[in-house]
Amino acid sequence: MYFRSDYNLNRMQFRNFKMVGYVVFGRGSFNQLDGILAPQRKAGAPMVFLLDHYFKGSALEQRIPLRGNDVLLYADVTYEPKTSQVDAIANDLKQQYDTISGIVGIGGGSTMDLAKAVSLMMNNPGSSADYQGWDLVQQPGVYKVGIPTLSGTGAEVSRTCVLTGPTRKLGMNSDFTPFDQIVLDPELAANAPANQRFYTGMDCYIHCIESLEGTFLNEFSKSYGEKALQLCQEVFLSNEPWGEKHDDKLMMASYAGGMSIAYSQVGVAHAVSYGLSYLLGTKHGIGNCIVMNHLEEYYPAGVAEFKQMVAHNNIDIPTGICAGLTDEQFDTMINVSLGMKPLWENALGKDWEQIMTREKLRALFEKL
Ligand code: NAD
Ligand code: ZN
């Protein structure tokens, strides 16, 4: 997902990776957005704000620094982002305006990914589906800003934006994909419902376990992964009621967890969860939790702690979601999952194909 699997085999090819341009962190830092955007505004070209539809009519919407002919769009994130959705937004904007000054995505991982993808499609021809893969994007996008309202995915720092297209679910991975600016204001995550906050937060926890337990691990990934893991433990095993401290820590955990996998890779939970998501539409955070619940064989300590966190926070993890599926449906999930080669290689090593056979993976899917 983040780089080709030959990266770690050839020690001469270290990834020279593109990072986010500017980062502001702090409670209330959202108020600086107007000033941050000012130098990016081009005469006559609107700034486009893509706001998670959850915030429609909210106090946060009132605080968006709209000026001149700026555009406010709501991101419908009922389903995870699709290439058709990205194309529709980008084509509409292209038809209405010669150019736009930039796009600001305010929301969870889905909204941030949509904003990244629309930014790229403003300056690249064709459909976003043409760019699902690695380093296919040819031109930089328009100026883009990410402002998370949920913590965990690491989408704020990653070089991808995950999209479901006509034939696959895969990101537009490129050096043009990371945001130019991110605004990390933990106040924006304050009202997230406990279940959603947990599922998205566990995405970060699972990033840490998969990175730290993976064969691609290096000191760079380890440094970020260990810190993110510690923050997740402090947040999800805390005996104090949820408060500001928790939101602050989880927002930084998400950032650091994202940095950790940027230089390593995710593993078994993500590879299996992609299969669920493709066939059943299971969302990323909850899908990872459903899978993690059954991965004792691969991540014994991480799964034990995950279960402790589930119990401690009174969260329900669905079970039996693969009951009644046909052989053909299991095959589809197995194909999608085994296609995530770098993830398996990171998790199980170069000989992963001998370890994770189709039969073994089928047995794992049946347990979910
Ligand atoms: P999400 O963005 O899908 O949002 C989940 C739900 O929470 C939505 O209903 C949304 O409206 C709501 N929501 C958002 N902020 C809220 C708030 N503060 N209070 C209450 N509700 C709020 O959830 P997510 O887990 O952040 O993101 C998942 C998406 O991120 C998936 O599409 C996944 O593919 C993607 N992802 C991307 C990367 C990457 O590197 N680009 C990494 C992991 C996941
Ligand atoms: Zn993830």
Name which residue sits closest to atom 40 of ligand 1, judged by CA. Answer: 155
Q: Say if ligand 1 is within 6 A of residue 77 CB.
A: yes
Per-residue pLDDT tens digits for 143-175: 999 999 999 999 999 999 999 998 888 899 999
Task: Work out the widest C-alpha separation in the chain, in whole angstroms.
Answer: 60
Q: Is the domain of 71 the same as that of 183?
A: yes
Task: Tell how strand 102-107 and strand 47-52 pair up.
Answer: parallel
Token pair in block for residue 275: 């299969």
Supply the DSSP symbol for 42.
B
Q: What mean pLDDT do residues 344-368 have?
A: 98
Name which residue sits closest to atom 21 of ligand 1, judged by CA. Answer: 192
Q: What is the pLDDT confidence band of residue 193, given thresholds at 50, 70 and 90?
A: very high
Name which residue sits closest to atom 14 of ligand 1, judged by CA. Answer: 108
Q: Is the domain of 201 the same as that of 298?
A: yes
Q: Residue 266: is its pLDDT beyond 70?
A: yes
DSSP bridge partners of 183: 24
How far is 94 from 80, CA to CA, in rounded Å? 23
Per-residue pLDDT tens digits for 95-145: 999 899 999 999 999 999 999 999 999 999 999 999 999 899 999 999 999
Q: Is the domain of 179 the same as that of 202?
A: no
6 inside domain: no
Q: Is the domain of 230 the same as that of 173?
A: no
Q: Is the domain of 169 the same as that of 269?
A: no
Domain span holding position 337: 194-367
How far is 315 from 289, CA to CA, in rounded Å? 10
Q: Say if ligand 1 is within 6 A of residue 113 CB.
A: yes
Per-residue pLDDT tens digits for 306-355: 999 999 999 999 999 999 999 999 999 999 999 999 999 999 999 999 99
Q: Say if ligand 1 is within 6 A of residue 58 CB.
A: no
Q: Is the domain of 83 the same as that of 176?
A: yes
DSSP bridge partners of 103: 48, 144
Choose the final residue of a domain: 158, 189, 220. Answer: 189
Q: What is the pLDDT confidence band of residue 11, given thresholds at 50, 70 and 90?
A: low
Per-residue pLDDT tens digits for 52-72: 999 999 999 999 999 999 999
* Helices 300-312 & 194-212 angle (0-180, nearest 10): 170
CB 20, CB 158: distance < 8 Å: no
Among the atoms of ligand 1, which is closest to the Cα of residue 54?
A: 11
Token pair in block for residue 355: 């370890």
For residue 175, how many other CB atoms are within 10 A of its CB? 13
Quote the ligand 2 centre to 202 CA distance (angstroms): 9
Residue whose token pair is 């969860």: 273
Q: Residue 5: is its pLDDT beyond 50?
A: no
Supply the DSSP symbol for 282.
-
Q: Say if ligand 1 is within 6 A of residue 187 CB.
A: no
Q: Is the domain of 248 the same as that of 346?
A: yes
Q: Is the domain of 146 the same as that of 204?
A: no
Q: Say if ligand 1 is within 6 A of residue 285 CB.
A: yes
CA angle (55, 207, 257) in 5-degree steps = 70
Q: Is the domain of 265 the same as that of 160?
A: no
For residue 289, the domain's CATH number is: 1.20.1090.10
Among the atoms of ligand 1, which is closest to the Cα of residue 80?
A: 32
Among the atoms of ligand 1, which is closest to the Cα of residue 199?
A: 25
% of the chain at pLDDT higher than 90: 93
Structural domains counted in the chain: 2
Name which residue sits closest to atom 27 of ligand 1, judged by CA. Answer: 109
Among the atoms of ligand 1, which is closest to the Cα of residue 160?
A: 41
What's phi and psi for 182, nearest 5 deg? -125, 145
Q: Residue 7: is its pLDDT beyond 70?
A: no
CB 79, CB 104: distance < 8 Å: no
How far is 191 from 149, CA to CA, in rounded Å? 9
CB 260, CB 336: distance < 8 Å: no
Q: Is the domain of 162 the same as that of 268?
A: no
7 inside domain: no
Q: Say if ligand 1 is within 6 A of residue 161 CB.
A: yes
For residue 77, the domain's CATH number is: 3.40.50.1970
How far is 206 from 268, CA to CA, in rounded Å? 10
Name which residue sits closest to atom 30 of ligand 1, judged by CA. Answer: 109
135 inside domain: yes
Quote the ligand 2 centre to 166 CA distance (angstroms): 21
Q: What mean pLDDT do residues 17-46 have?
A: 97
Q: Say if ligand 1 is within 6 A of residue 108 CB.
A: yes
Q: Is the domain of 52 the same as that of 134?
A: yes
Choose the final residue of a domain: 189, 221, 250. Answer: 189
For residue 361, the model assigns a pLDDT of: 98
Q: Say if ligand 1 is within 6 A of residue 264 CB.
A: no
Choose the final residue of a domain: 171, 189, 207. Answer: 189
For residue 167, the model assigns a pLDDT of: 83
How far is 326 from 234, CA to CA, in rounded Å? 42
Range with lowest mean pLDDT among 111-115, 169-173, 283-287, 295-299: 169-173
15 inside domain: no
Q: Residue 10: is its pLDDT beyond 80?
A: no
Q: Where are the beta strands (DSSP E) in the chain?
A: 22-25, 47-52, 71-75, 102-107, 133-134, 144-148, 162-164, 169-173, 181-184
For residue 36, the model assigns a pLDDT of: 98
